[in-house]
């Protein structure tokens, strides 16, 4: 569970960094640590992920962050994240608050198959968010069926 939360957070920032403007491509994730996971019943959780971000560019904000983690094409986790604003020209750690819910038809024991697939082959993610500059100019982004192994190889 911690690994999926961490992967979602990294994937979200990598997607954001590669899609807004050319200068935002220089943004780097310097660290990623799951600092807490709090269960909410049997099929939901809240998590805090501390992300170190080196932003040599302008200030930007991410909102309406949603993701669907899929295993072999079948949804297994639905994730949302609280809004976050990244300060300009700084290297700083940000607390990203995630809220997750397991799909009703998903068998959590199937996550054990990831042990046999260290490259995360069966896991893809659909991500959507709104990215905005300090001026308020922004755009909605949506990505479908992104292999997590490809996202993580760029980090």
Predicted confidence (pLDDT) per residue in 25-49, tens digit: 788 888 888 899 999 988 899 999 8
Closest CA to 89 of 24, 33, 15, 135: 24
User: Each residue of 68-105: pLDDT tens digit?
Assistant: 989 888 898 899 999 999 999 999 999 999 999 998 88
pLDDT of residue 16: 57
Domains assigned to the chain: 2-153 (2.60.40)
Q: What is the pTM of this model?
A: 0.75
Alpha-carbon separation of residue 49 from 9, 10, 52, 74 (angstroms): 7, 10, 10, 25
- Residue 7 reports pLDDT greater than 80: no
Residue-level pLDDT at 134: 86
Cβ-based neighbours of 120, under 8 Å, separated by 6 or more: 7, 114, 147, 148, 149, 152
């Amino acid at each position: 569970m911690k690994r999926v939360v961490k992967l979602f957070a990294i994937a979200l920032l990598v997607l954001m960094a590669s899609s807004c403007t050319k200068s935002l491509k220089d943004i780097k994730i310097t660290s990623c640590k799951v600092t807490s996971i709090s269960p909410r019943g049997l099929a939901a959780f809240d998590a805090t992920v501390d992300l170190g971000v080196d932003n040599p560019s302008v200030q930007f904000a991410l909102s309406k962050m949603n993701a669907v983690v899929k295993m072999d094409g079948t949804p297994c986790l639905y994730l949302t994240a609280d809004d976050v604003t990244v300060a300009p020209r700084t290297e700083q750690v940000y607390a990203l608050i995630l809220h997750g819910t397991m799909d009703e038809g998903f068998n959590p024991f199937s996550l054990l198959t990831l042990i046999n697939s260290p490259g995360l082959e069966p896991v893809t993610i659909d991500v959507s968010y709104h990215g905005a500059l300090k001026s308020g100019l922004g755009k909605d982004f949506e990505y479908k069926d992104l292999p997590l192994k490809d996202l993580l190889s760029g980090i």
